[in-house]
Structure 1
């Protein structure tokens, strides 16, 4: 035998014999003519064809070079965990893979919930909602601005009848007073800023 057996190669790289058989069947191993495994060539081929994130062998060995995770990503993971009432790492304290995976699953669940609410018609587009809210407020304001002209004459005649002493309340004066009070009220309402959070 020129190379290693499945069992020997499995021991060498720290995987099960079944994993070696799967790699052999998938063509990720280099074999000698007698069917034994060429260890060095197989290591090289496995290195080229194996997804590093799915590799269990020596994930934390000194030779492994891990890319640093941007601080913004770590902060986002912490924010997501805190929103759900879960323990989040302190800034600069390092995020574990489990915490990052939990945050990812939480975000996926939130995204699915939002998508489902949109499909059910429970959520609307924010820009459309703001446009409708603005239009409703403008229509409401316009209705109040024109209200004094519509009711001033009616109110003046009712007040004249209520006084009963022969004095007359002028419709134009009534309209002027009503307009001043309505505009003051609309100005105070304009200071209220409503936003969609």
Structure 2
């Protein structure tokens, strides 16, 4: 089929068919368009060309923007620590392949945008806290607790020594050694604590 006939088949102008050809959406040999192969390419890259009644997430009632629930998105790789957005996108594309149709790509994009908006809402509403902020708070709390224990021996040791009638220096040194031992044990827990982040 020539370009004019192909344009009539799809009810578009010749200029549009020329644009499709420039984009590599048409399969042709010696000026003749392979209709089946070209239709397959158009179906893959151009939204609803060969089946106009089909919308990428539509339900036949014009509801194109309905998002799929997150459990229907398919299994996608999780984020990896210290990975840039570009690296994550490359890894996801490697796992998913770059063979999605335009409709599938739009569906994935819209669902990811919805998840990003949900994440932004949860962050702004206070339901989520940045991991770096949480780590800083936990570190500061642990350091404050450690400092309080280290100062406790010099504050309480003389009082205990006076109650027991012992030398204050000996009591402070003894308490300090036991506090140091306890802090070392707290710094190396026997069981690993598992955190669950939403």
TM-score scaled by structure 2? 0.49
Rg (Cα) greater in structure = 1
TM-score scaled by structure 1? 0.49
